Structure 1
């Protein structure tokens, strides 16, 4: 037990959490979007990408177009940041036309409800300590939730390489993915280490999920899917991770008392 406490303490004290979402994108209540190009340019399209942080110009027309000091050639896609796109209503010159857009504000949800869901999952997780099979099942569910969150965050990024973005989104939680298989294997073989691994995985996933607390209070999340799905995945990672740690401790304590 002392060894486990030391390991968990070191993980919580020294692990470097990942960004809340891939590419360093963050939840927010304001989102910039393009409303149109005036007058329209044949074959030229514009949109905001990467959670409203970059303006993308796609030139499928016959002529090059100039924007923000760059000439976008036919067949080229160019993405860039422009402070003008942060104004309530904005415009960016594009060749002989103008890209127009606006920033929409949407109030975020009440974070209390999601915190309650997280705490309920953490409290319920103590029952996982009744058996190695329950601990193994919990490890799988919580780890899959973290993987889905990382994948959804990665798919929300435009113009980046998938693997590096996925690694950044997973952070310290990446170590838990293979450990989940180890935990299941140990539980199937009825090894004493199953509870230890479950507790370690739970603590590491809590560390990995800490930056995601902002998902509970902002309306727009950089996630390739409904925002509430991402919030549920975050709640499962945090609450389930706490529950696994508690359940692992409870199981080991029960074994030591026999």
Structure 2
């Protein structure tokens, strides 16, 4: 058992921790949006991107435009942050026009409720330790939740290559996903290693999910789907990871004692 714990510790230390969300985007309780360009400019599109943190100006018109000290030539697209877009109502000059926008404030979600859901999922570890098949099924399900969270947070990012963003959002998940397949195969073969692999995946996913606690505290999440869906995925990954660790080590301890 001590050797197994040592191996698990080395895996946890040697694997990268994921960013909470892809592209460095963070949960928040406000969201900025462009309401108009006044007067309108032919061929020019302006919008807020990347969870309302950046202004994007696409110039398909015939003349260069100047905004926030930047020149956007015909055929070019500029993306940048501007602190003015965080005001309740804001405006930024764009050539002879003005970009107008608003920032909407949202109430924070019930963080305690989501923490209780996470604890309830973690409590399933007591039952998972009763059989290798249950451990394997739970490992696949919890890992799938982690994959969905990484995909959803990557899909919402504009202006970056998908693969590097996905890798950054996945972190330790890149190790967990093939291990989940290995766990399922070991369970089919009824190998005792199933429990250790499940516990390892669970512990890794707990580490990977720690930065995602903010998803329970903020209303707006950088995720290509509903915020509650993302919170549910985080609760499943974090709580399920704890359940796998508890269940896997419980099974190994019982087998060692026998």
User: When the two structures are superposed, what TM-score results if normalisation uses the length of structure 2?
Assistant: 0.96
CA offsets 1:114-152 (integer angstroms, 9 cap, x no match): 001100000013211111111110110000000000000
* 2:116 equivalent to 1:116: yes
CA offsets 1:164-221 (integer angstroms, 9 cap, x no match): 0001101112110111111111111111211000000000000000000000110000
Task: State the partner residue of 2:181.
Answer: 181
Counterpart Cα distance in 1 of 2:4 and 2:52? 43
CA offsets 1:230-255 (integer angstroms, 9 cap, x no match): 00000000000000000101111221
- Runs (4+) of structure 1 exceeding 6 A deviation are none
- Counterpart contact for 1:17–1:210, Cα < 8 Å: no
Task: State the partner residue of 1:165.
Answer: 165
Equivalent residues, number = 258
- Counterpart contact for 1:11–1:203, Cα < 8 Å: no
* 2:129 equivalent to 1:153: no
The aligned runs of 1:80-229 (5 Å cut-off) are 80-229=80-229
Deviation at 1:63, TM superposition (A): 2.6
Counterpart Cα distance in 2 of 1:115 and 1:257? 34
Task: State the partner residue of 1:250.
Answer: 250
CA offsets 1:2-53 (integer angstroms, 9 cap, x no match): 1233334445566542211001110000111111111111121111111111
Counterpart Cα distance in 2 of 1:230 and 1:111? 13
Task: State the partner residue of 1:21.
Answer: 21
User: When the two structures are superposed, what TM-score results if normalisation uses the length of structure 1?
Assistant: 0.96
- Counterpart contact for 1:15–1:207, Cα < 8 Å: no
